[in-house]
């Protein structure tokens, strides 16, 4: 409300003087306010939230044919972490081993009319270029350069697979290696390749090409054939049938257009397969990307991918990401629109409540807990999106509880003394892009729904997350800005 001088209250010259004085003071005050705003970083920060009813309708990350290519690229990036984390000796070394097989791979590809890049990517993903790799101690399990199951090798791919002889020869090879009997190792290995062709690199490559040809015939598409290499042709056919596909459809449509609330029968079937079967195609594409990445760039990417138990440093590399050093820098970030205070009522309406203990160490740095209850707009939108989706999937009004958001480096140091999970190095919490959600779920349905949403956002390369003892730690990509308008978060500009 604007206060106006009542010029009609006191008649005469004295009243006119008072009016002029008030006007002059108002002008001076206005100048002071403008100067203060300029000195503090420009125009007044925009509101954190869009006006009621102005959020864009619909799901900005729902599958559509127009988004198919973008989603496929995102999925390859989002699912790449496991490739870096589990490659023997590191992914650069695994890439080098795999490339050593390229002459043989190209020969097999030409002879079988198979894409050489696909075969090479499968070799990297399945065995990291090791021809004697075994997925488990069982010879009935996946073995060899392309990890073929004994039963699949015998009955579908016409391979010779004698697991009894193979097991006996493998024990003999191990003893000969321990005694450094090089020639005996070579002789026994040759015998093993004859009795179990899965240990024969060329035979394995030919069998994989044969499998892809059979799957392409039965499924009608190359991408479906590759996706079936891990889950099996029959399992993929079941998923397509449950989806309601009347003919071959892109695997991206099957994967991204199913959820617990959309084509739920197909989603449940894919989810039930476990062992990351549903994401196999994206991991093959991640392997293909790694094989075509220049060595120096691959080494840098490997360092970021393996710095944490998630790909969060890939989303926000330390050398390229600003952090908040002290409470003053946090205060400036709120004022300068980089950070947004958590809107408690708004979040609660979207299925997220704020833990009352958040920011409990603020007193140690001379601040109030409210300073440590905020996020960047992209992260706030993602938190709201997760809460809304989990509530819809779980069919429950019970909210998720967010336990930690932004910090500064000084706060982080005090946290180290009381939290074994806290890091004394680069923390995504000090960037405003990370939050933690309690693992104390209201029900199994809520936990299942939360997992489904995390998996989907990871596949879109919008988040990276990891499981801590008490919470799920989520780091949000800057690309998650696409969630802002749909959730009701006002963009910064």
Both structure tokens of 25: 């003071």
The reported pLDDT for the residue numbered 46 is 53
Domain 81-161+196-296 has CATH 1.10.530.10: yes
Checking if the pLDDT of 415 tops 70, the result is yes
The reported pLDDT for the residue numbered 188 is 98
Q: What integer is the mean pLDDT of 224-241?
A: 98
pLDDT category at 361 given cuts 50, 70, 90 is: very high
Using DSSP's 3-state secondary structure scheme, residue 299 falls into helix
Q: How far apart are CA 122 and CA 286, in angstroms?
A: 10
Q: What is the pLDDT of residues 239-298, one digit of tens each?
A: 999 999 999 999 999 999 999 999 999 999 999 998 789 999 999 999 999 999 999 999
Q: What is the pLDDT of residues 68-126, one digit of tens each?
A: 999 999 999 999 999 999 999 999 999 999 999 999 999 999 999 999 999 999 999 99
The reported pLDDT for the residue numbered 136 is 86
Residues whose CB is less than 8 angstroms from the CB of residue 168 and which lie 6 or more positions away in sequence, other chains included: none
Please check whether residue 326 is in contact with residue 488, taking contact to mean a CB–CB distance below 8 angstroms. no
Handedness of CA 338, 339, 343, 348 (dihedral sign): positive
Q: How far is CA 448 from the centre of its chain?
A: 17
Please check whether residue 476 is in contact with residue 489, taking contact to mean a CB–CB distance below 8 angstroms. no
Q: How far apart are CA 337 and CA 44, in angstroms?
A: 9
Q: How far is CA 9 from the centre of its chain?
A: 68
Q: What is the pLDDT of residues 49-70, one digit of tens each?
A: 999 888 888 899 999 999 999 9
- Burial class, 171, CB count within 10 angstroms (exposed 0-12 / middle 13-18 / buried 19+): exposed
Kindly list the domain boundaries of the chain, sorted by start residue: 1-39, 81-161+196-296, 314-487
Max Cα distance, the chain (Å): 119
Q: What is the pLDDT of residues 177-196, one digit of tens each?
A: 999 999 999 999 999 999 99
Q: What is the pLDDT of residues 121-170, one digit of tens each?
A: 999 999 999 999 999 889 999 999 999 999 999 999 999 999 999 999 99
Residues whose CB is less than 8 angstroms from the CB of residue 449 and which lie 6 or more positions away in sequence, other chains included: 260, 389, 390, 391, 392, 393, 394
Instruction: Evaluate whether 81-161+196-296 and 314-487 have a shared fold.
Output: no
Phi-psi region at 110: left, alpha or beta (left = phi > 0; alpha = psi -120 to 50): alpha
Q: How far is CA 62 from the centre of its chain?
A: 16
The reported pLDDT for the residue numbered 168 is 97
Q: What is the pLDDT of residues 3-18, one digit of tens each?
A: 333 333 333 333 443 4
Domain 314-487 has CATH 3.30.70: no
Checking if the pLDDT of 422 tops 80, the result is no
Classify each residue of 384-415 as buried b or exposed e, where b means 16 or more C-beta atoms within 10 Å of its C-beta.
bbbbbbbbebbeeeebbbbbbbbbbbbbbebb
Q: How far apart are CA 469 and CA 467, in angstroms?
A: 7
Q: What integer is the mean pLDDT of 453-468?
A: 97
Q: How far apart are CA 212 and CA 195, in angstroms?
A: 24
């Amino acid at each position: 409300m604007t206060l106006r001088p009542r010029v009609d209250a006191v008649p005469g010259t004295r009243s006119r003087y008072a009016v002029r004085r008030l006007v002059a003071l108002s002008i001076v005050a206005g100048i002071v306010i403008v100067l203060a705003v300029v000195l503090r970083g420009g125009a007044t920060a925009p509101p954190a939230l869009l006006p009621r009813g102005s959020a864009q309708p619909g799901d900005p990350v729902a599958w559509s044919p127009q988004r198919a290519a973008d989603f496929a690229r995102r999925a390859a990036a989002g699912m790449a972490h496991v490739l870096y984390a589990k490659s023997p000796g590191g992914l650069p070394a695994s890439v080098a081993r795999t490339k050593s097989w390229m002459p043989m791979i190209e020969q097999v590809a030409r002879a079988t009319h198979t894409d050489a890049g696909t075969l090479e990517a499968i070799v990297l993903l399945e065995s990291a270029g090791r021809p004697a790799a075994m997925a488990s101690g069982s010879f009935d399990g996946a073995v060899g350069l392309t990890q073929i199951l004994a039963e699949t090798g015998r009955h579908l791919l016409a391979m010779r697979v004698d697991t009894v002889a193979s097991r006996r020869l493998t024990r003999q090879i191990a003893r000969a290696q321990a005694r450094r009997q090089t020639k005996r190792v070579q002789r026994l290995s040759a015998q093993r390749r004859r009795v179990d062709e899965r240990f024969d690199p060329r035979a394995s490559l030919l069998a994989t090409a044969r499998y892809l040809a059979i799957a392409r015939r039965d499924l009608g598409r190359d991408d479906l054939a590759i996706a079936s290499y891990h889950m099996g042709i029959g399992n993929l056919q079941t998923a397509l049938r449950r989806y309601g596909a009347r003919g071959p459809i892109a695997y991206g449509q099957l994967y991204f257009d199913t959820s617990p609330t959309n084509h739920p029968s197909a989603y449940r079937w894919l989810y039930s397969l476990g062992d990351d079967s549903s994401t196999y195609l994206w991991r093959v594409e991640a392997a293909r990307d790694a094989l075509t990445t220049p060595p120096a760039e691959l080494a840098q990417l490997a360092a970021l991918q393996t710095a944490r138990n998630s790909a969060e440093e890939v989303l926000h590399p330390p050398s390229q990401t600003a952090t908040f050093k002290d409470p003053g820098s946090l205060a400036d970030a709120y004022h300068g629109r980089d950070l947004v205070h958590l809107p408690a009522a708004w979040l609660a309406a979207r299925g997220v409540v704020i833990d009352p203990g958040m920011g409990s160490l603020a007193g140690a740095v001379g601040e109030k807990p409210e300073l440590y209850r905020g996020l960047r707009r992209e992260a706030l939108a993602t938190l709201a999106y997760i809460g809304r989706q989990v509530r819809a999937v779980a069919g429950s009004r019970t909210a998720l509880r967010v336990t930690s958001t932004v910090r500064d480096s000084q706060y982080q140091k005090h946290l180290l003394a009381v939290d074994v999970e806290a890091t004394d190095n680069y923390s995504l919490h000090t960037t405003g892009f990370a939050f933690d959600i309690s693992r104390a779920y209201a029900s199994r349905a809520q936990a299942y729904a939360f997992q489904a949403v995390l998996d989907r956002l990871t596949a879109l390369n919008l988040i990276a997350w990891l499981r801590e003892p008490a919470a799920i730690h989520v780091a949000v990509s800057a690309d998650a800005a696409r969630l802002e308008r749909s959730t009701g978060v006002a963009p910064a500009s």
